[in-house]
Amino acid sequence: MSITRPATTVYAAGAVLWRTIGNDIHVLVIHRTGHKDVSLPKGKVDPGETLPQTAVREIREETGIKVSLGVPVGATEYVMPNGKNKFVQYWAAEVTTKAIQKSKFVPNDEVAALEWLPLASARGELSYEPDKEILDNFAALVKEGVTKTFAVVVLRHGKAASPSDWRGEDATRPLTERGLTQAHGIVGTIAAWKPKRFISSTAARCLATIAPVAKALGKDVKSTKKISQDAFESGKGDVRSVVGEIVRKRKSTVVCSHGPVSPAVIREIALATGTPWTSALEEAGLLNTASFSVVHLSSTHPSSGIIAVETHDSQL
């Protein structure tokens, strides 16, 4: 899934919030005050935001709950009463007990009440057919047993100094001013998945790209030559062992590498999870500078294959 945003459409984002109560999965619906309806939590994009940022912010504003995004569960597009076109992207998002305990939600002018319901009951309560379709997409994941997921963010470094203009070793080439701007610009979007681990090529341009988001989340960066461009092109790289460790640990991880290496990272994820190779996966590895693909895998059944892939292009 590659997300593009034409200027003529109103964009919004939200999520299917879910948790396990007893032996059953329940989802959260909101009772909206002004509209007097029942819907999934969502809201419009603020200026300068990306869709993942909007989803996390709007969920917190409407429900008081802090979440990290999970797998994408589809999008709806429809014409609003005012005649404008509206596009809403949704993700699944597991809600922890701790997050609920920290919520400071109180009924307000926008949301009158929050209600946790079993899937079938929630579908019956939702006021709008598009919301029901999104819930059906989530229900399909529940049926497959792959609701609990982790993300592998495959990130290409930002714009770097040209090799023809750089006198030192290739691995020491720094980011340009644009590259530094890109590195800071992607922080909020990647943070929407709250990655726990950060792995980078030893090249200066990769380390400088991954550093801002790792710092923002209070995490250290592990650097390795195994995914460096020099090692990859000389046949001395070892992308497979890096990917294998990520899949075994089952924690959301950012992997920052190079244009020639990113397709190999995607391919090794496919091989490690028994996922058939497709043109969509091939495209997910063809990244522009400071762009990234988010590969979603099951935390409980990694061998079930890649659940979804979404690509986010840097807007800077």
In this predicted structure, the answer to whether residue 203 has a pLDDT above a threshold of 80 is yes
Of 119, 144, 169, the one marking the end of a domain is: 144
Cα–Cα dist 300/205, whole Å: 34
In this predicted structure, the answer to whether residue 18 has a pLDDT above a threshold of 90 is yes
pLDDT of residue 7: 52
In this predicted structure, the answer to whether residue 4 has a pLDDT above a threshold of 70 is no
- pLDDT tens figures, 162-176: 998 898 899 999 999
pLDDT of residue 79: 85
Dihedral, CA atoms, 125, 130, 135, 138, nearest 10 degrees? 180
pLDDT of residue 44: 96
Asked if residue 1 is part of any domain, the answer here is no
Same domain for 190 and 305, yes or no, is: yes
In the chain, the amino acid numbered 162 is S
Same domain for 303 and 232, yes or no, is: yes
Q: Which residue has the tokens 């047993």?
A: 145
Of 82, 110, 144, the one marking the end of a domain is: 144
pLDDT of residue 35: 85
Same domain for 196 and 178, yes or no, is: yes
Asked if residue 176 is part of any domain, the answer here is yes
DSSP letter at 2 equals B
Token readout for 209 is 């790209």
pLDDT of residue 84: 86
Same domain for 37 and 137, yes or no, is: yes
Same domain for 131 and 165, yes or no, is: no
Asked if residue 4 is part of any domain, the answer here is no
Cα–Cα dist 117/133, whole Å: 16
The residue range of the domain holding 63 is 10-144
Mean pLDDT in the chain?
Answer: 95
pLDDT of residue 3: 52
Same domain for 128 and 181, yes or no, is: no
Asked if residue 2 is part of any domain, the answer here is no
β-bridge pairing 197-201 and 221-224: parallel
Same domain for 138 and 15, yes or no, is: yes
Provide the CATH number for the domain around residue 291: 3.40.50.1240
pLDDT of residue 96: 94
pLDDT of residue 315: 80
pLDDT of residue 1: 56
In this predicted structure, the answer to whether residue 290 has a pLDDT above a threshold of 70 is yes
Same domain for 214 and 243, yes or no, is: yes
- pLDDT tens figures, 38-48: 999 999 999 99
* Predicted confidence band of residue 198 (pLDDT cuts 50, 70, 90): very high
pLDDT of residue 197: 98
pTM, full prediction: 0.94
Asked if residue 131 is part of any domain, the answer here is yes
Asked if residue 288 is part of any domain, the answer here is yes
Q: Which residues pair with 154 in a beta bridge?
A: 255, 293
- pLDDT tens figures, 242-254: 999 999 999 999 9
What percent of the chain has pLDDT above 70? 98
With 0-12 / 13-18 / 19 or more C-beta atoms within 10 angstroms meaning exposed / middle / buried, residue 245 is middle
Cα–Cα dist 89/73, whole Å: 8
Same domain for 265 and 139, yes or no, is: no
In this predicted structure, the answer to whether residue 57 has a pLDDT above a threshold of 90 is yes
* Predicted confidence band of residue 8 (pLDDT cuts 50, 70, 90): confident
Token readout for 1 is 């899934």
SS (H, E, C) 81-135: CCCCEEEEEEEEEECCHHHHHHCCCCCCCCEEEEEEEEHHHHHHHCCCHHHHHHH
User: Are the C-beta atoms of 191 and 214 separated by less than 8 Å?
Assistant: no
- pLDDT tens figures, 254-283: 999 999 999 999 999 999 999 999 999 999
Same domain for 162 and 43, yes or no, is: no
Same domain for 186 and 89, yes or no, is: no
User: Are the C-beta atoms of 229 and 170 separated by less than 8 Å?
Assistant: yes
Same domain for 246 and 303, yes or no, is: yes
Split into its structural domains, the chain has a count of 2
Asked if residue 5 is part of any domain, the answer here is no
User: Are the C-beta atoms of 32 and 112 separated by less than 8 Å?
Assistant: yes
In this predicted structure, the answer to whether residue 134 has a pLDDT above a threshold of 80 is yes
Of 85, 119, 144, the one marking the end of a domain is: 144
In this predicted structure, the answer to whether residue 291 has a pLDDT above a threshold of 90 is yes
Helix (H, G, I), strand (E, B) or coil at 141: helix
Asked if residue 210 is part of any domain, the answer here is yes
Provide the CATH number for the domain around residue 77: 3.90.79.10
Residues 6+ apart with CB under 8 A from 42: 12, 13, 14, 15, 55, 58, 88, 90
CA 241 remoteness from chain centre = 23
Q: Helix 177-185 crosses helix 204-216 at what angle (to 10 degrees)?
A: 30
